[in-house]
């Protein structure tokens, strides 16, 4: 099952607060960052460690360090930008790759308008960030781009997923794991997640 619904009480509490209809832009941004931080914590739980010896105040001491992981965080424009600072709080040395996709309101198909990837993707873990997994068209297109560039360890963080998107992601990319704060009920006729968050990009950018 590539989509993992995180059950941590802090995650559940914060995603509940995000659903409030008249939430302010400030509060929506803050909670998005906080949930992103917690999802990043979960999605990196299997990073391997190695021992290194440091000169500590009490003498040479073996300490743990993350072994050989080079990370690129991949915000999907626009809305993924809202999760970026939270993930970078946890992985401050990560490089940033950017993918620009816009979902066509009529066809619900993603339209590609920008990409800028860091080098050496074959040696990196990619953490795709996008608040919403609806049909999964945007997520699958982003994963396709990363795979074409040679990336082999691809993970995704989304605030809310629809069962339709979970299925589509699982079918297209069973090797990619995705951590989400909630798997909701369904998509409505306009392709919005119900109950969902509404238009996450508009709420993060204050455009509605
Ligand atoms: C939203 C969202 C995802 C996509 C999800 O972005 O942030 O990228 O739709 O839908 P899907 O799973 O059906 O592809 P949108 O294209 O509306 O653009 P925005 O980030 O600029 O608001
Ligand atoms: N994009 C959003 O911002 N919200 C949804 O519910 C679906 C796609």
2, 177 contact by CB (below 8 A): yes
Q: What is the pTM of this model?
A: 0.97
Number of domains forming the structure of the chain: 1
181 is in an annotated binding site: no
Q: Is the CB of 80 under 6 A from ligand 2?
A: no
**Residue 199 Cα: closest atom of ligand 2:** 3
> Exposed/middle/buried for 208, CB within 10 Å: 0-12, 13-18, 19+?
exposed
Among the bound ligands, name the one nearest to the CA of residue 193. Answer: 2
Query: Whole-angstrom Cα distance, residue 196 to residue 81?
Result: 19
140, 161 contact by CB (below 8 A): no
CATH number at residue 88: 3.40.50.2020
pLDDT band of residue 15 (cuts 50, 70, 90) is: very high
Backbone angles phi and psi of 13, in degrees to 5: -60, -45
Report pLDDT digits (tens) over 94-114. Answer: 999 999 999 999 999 999 999
Domain region containing 105: 3-205
pLDDT band of residue 208 (cuts 50, 70, 90) is: confident
Query: Whole-angstrom Cα distance, residue 11 to residue 147?
Result: 30
Query: pLDDT at residue 90 above 80?
Result: yes
Pocket test residue of 193, 201, 204, 206 for ligand 2, highest count of atoms within 8 A of CB: 193
148 is in an annotated binding site: no
Report pLDDT digits (tens) over 132-152. Answer: 999 999 999 999 999 999 999
Query: pLDDT at residue 169 above 70?
Result: yes
pLDDT of residue 1: 60
Protein residues with CB under 6 Å of any ligand 1 atom: 76, 78-79, 101-103, 108, 110, 130-139, 165, 191, 200-201
Residue 130 neighbours by CB under 8 Å, 6+ apart: 75, 76, 79, 80, 83, 138, 139, 142, 156, 157, 158
Distance 59 CA to ligand 2 centre (A): 54
**ipTM given for this complex:** 0.98
pLDDT of residue 198: 98
């Amino acid at each position: 099952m590539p989509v993992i619904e995180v059950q941590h009480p802090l995650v559940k509490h914060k995603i509940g607060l995000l659903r409030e209809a008249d939430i302010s832009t400030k509060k929506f941004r803050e909670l998005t960052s906080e949930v992103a931080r917690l999802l990043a914590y979960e999605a990196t739980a299997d990073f391997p460690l190695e021992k290194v010896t440091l000169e500590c105040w009490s003498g040479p001491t073996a300490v743990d360090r993350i072994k050989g992981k080079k990370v690129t965080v991949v915000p999907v424009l626009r809305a993924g930008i809202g999760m970026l600072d939270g993930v970078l709080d946890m992985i401050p040395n990560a490089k940033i790759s950017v993918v620009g996709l816009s979902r066509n309101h009529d066809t619900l198909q993603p339209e590609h308008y920008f990409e800028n990837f860091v080098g050496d993707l074959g040696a990196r873990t990619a953490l795709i960030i996008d608040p919403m997994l609806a049909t999964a068209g945007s997520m699958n297109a982003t994963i396709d781009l990363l795979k074409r560039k040679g990336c082999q360890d691809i993970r995704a963080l989304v605030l809310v997923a629809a069962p339709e998107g979970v299925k589509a992601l699982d079918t297209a990319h069973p090797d990619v794991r995705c951590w989400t704060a909630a798997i909701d009920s369904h998509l409505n006729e306009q392709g919005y997640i119900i109950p969902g968050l509404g238009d996450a990009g508009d709420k993060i950018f204050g455009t509605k």
